[in-house]
């Protein structure tokens, strides 16, 4: 991209300063009229590139809470503690493995014990705390234990989630309540538990695993999509409160949007995903992007899928509906599966 830009600028300068009577323009085998059109197109290309670049810089600046330059010296990875919900299996386990590769101590909140692989990989850097994250009392109890064992966590990764494969009419009240409690309400409990210490130290990073389902509601997984849309609003509001209520724009916030990922969440619907030729990510790739964001000290959104997904709502209504219709038969079974 940079080489192409340098070439385009150089070419434009040459075409602008070299008189048309010289042999140079003939090297392009263009008539004077076509040469004028070519130069005009080249100018528009450069203008659009500059606009795109400025937009990218402003977006990164906004994502960073209008802080132009961070003090990365505030982070010492071997002294940091990360809380990871749903960290025993799947994406969460991969996140834990990458965190400890940097020397970060990981406190895993889960209802399932650590896998043997994670136990052997973690050595003294991973500690399991059995915790029902849908209970504010249980989250507080786990928080007290973590602070007693390690001190105050500076990183919170809300990763735990479940998915229902049910229609609106078929989903039971119990399943509906559970999916909202696990996928959305629990984020309030963990943030309420661990954010105060981050505010006191003016340092922290809160990350949540959402989904591409936040951008489009699909038949058979409406409740799941609703919980992920809710996370978008939660992170937008959290970021605003950190800046304007608690005066702590230094605290990072990240929301992650993986596409279909090979975890227990998609086992029941994998054939449907394959029927629309949608890509399926490896949990390790998702985890790598998540931990890289933390190590780089960045806030913002991580879209792990088609970049156009975030702009679906800006498309014409007929095109939005075409996309939803195309995906309508991905989720046709009835199931409830957990993803860690």
* Residue 171: φ, ψ to 5°: -65, 135
| Number of CB atoms found within 10 A of residue 274's CB | 12
Decide if 228 is catalytic: yes
The one catalytic residue among 89, 97, 189, 224 = 224
The beta strand positions in 259-326, using DSSP E, are 300-304
Contact 251, 205 (CB under 8 A): yes
Q: What is the DSSP string of 138-162?
A: HHHHHHHHHHHHT---SEEEE--EE
**Per residue in 65-86, pLDDT tens?**
767 676 677 899 999 999 999 9
CA triple 189-290-148, angle to 5 deg? 45
* Burial (CB count <10 Å: 0-12, 13-18, 19+), residue 38: middle
pLDDT at residue 27, rounded to an integer: 47
What percent of the chain shows pLDDT beyond 90?
A: 54
Neighbour count for residue 200 (Cβ, 10 Å): 12
Does 150 participate in catalysis according to the annotation?
no
Are 340 and 91 a contacting pair, CB within 8 Å? yes
Residue 303 or residue 5, greater confidence: 303
The pair phi, psi for residue 257, each rounded to 5°, is -120, 85
pLDDT at residue 101 in the model: 95
Among all chains, which residue has been given the structure tokens 């014990």?
113
> Which pLDDT score, from 0 to 100, does residue 230 have?
97
Residue in 203, 228, 239, 252 annotated catalytic: 228
Please give the domain boundaries of the chain with CATH numbers for all domains.
2-62 (no CATH), 78-339 (3.40.50.720)
C-alpha dihedral (270, 166, 235, 293), degrees to nearest 10: -10
Total-model pTM = 0.82
pLDDT confidence of residue 194: 98
75-116, pLDDT tens digit by residue? 999 999 999 999 999 999 999 999 999 999 999 999 999 988
């Amino acid at each position: 991209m940079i080489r192409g830009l340098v070439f385009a600028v150089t070419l434009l300068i040459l075409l602008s300063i070299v008189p048309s009577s010289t042999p140079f323009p003939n090297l392009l085998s263009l008539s004077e009229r076509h040469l004028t059109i070519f130069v005009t197109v080249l100018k528009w290309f450069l203008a659009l590139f500059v606009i795109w670049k400025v937009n990218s810089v402003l977006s990164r600046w906004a994502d960073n809470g209008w802080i132009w330059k961070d003090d990365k010296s505030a982070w010492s990875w071997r002294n940091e503690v990360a809380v990871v919900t749903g960290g025993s299996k799947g994406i969460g386990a991969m996140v834990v493995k990458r965190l400890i590769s940097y020397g970060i101590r990981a406190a895993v909140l889960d209802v399932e014990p650590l896998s043997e692989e994670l136990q052997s990989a973690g050595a003294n850097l991973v500690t399991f705390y059995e915790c029902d994250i849908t209970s504010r009392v249980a989250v507080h109890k786990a928080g007290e234990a973590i602070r007693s064992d390690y001190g105050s966590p500076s990183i919170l990764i809300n990763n735990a989630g479940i998915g229902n494969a049910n229609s609106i009419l078929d989903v039971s009240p119990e399943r509906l309540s559970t999916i909202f409690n696990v996928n959305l309400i629990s984020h309030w409990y963990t943030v309420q538990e661990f954010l105060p210490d981050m505010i006191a130290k003016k340092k922290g990073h809160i990350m949540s695993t959402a989904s591409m389902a936040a951008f489009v509601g699909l038949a058979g997984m409406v409740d799941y999509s609703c919980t992920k849309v809710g996370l978008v609003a939660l992170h937008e509001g959290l970021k605003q409160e950190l800046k304007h209520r608690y005066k702590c724009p230094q605290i990072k916030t990240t929301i992650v949007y993986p596409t279909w990922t090979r975890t227990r969440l998609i086992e029941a619907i994998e054939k449907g995903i394959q029927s629309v030729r949608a890509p399926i990510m490896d949990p390790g790739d998702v985890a790598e992007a998540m931990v890289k964001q933390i190590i780089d000290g960045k806030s913002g959104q991580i879209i792990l899928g088609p970049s156009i997904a975030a702009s679906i709502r800006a498309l014409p209504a007929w095109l939005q509906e075409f996309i939803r219709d195309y995906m309508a038969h991905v989720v046709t079974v009835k199931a409830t599966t957990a993803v860690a």
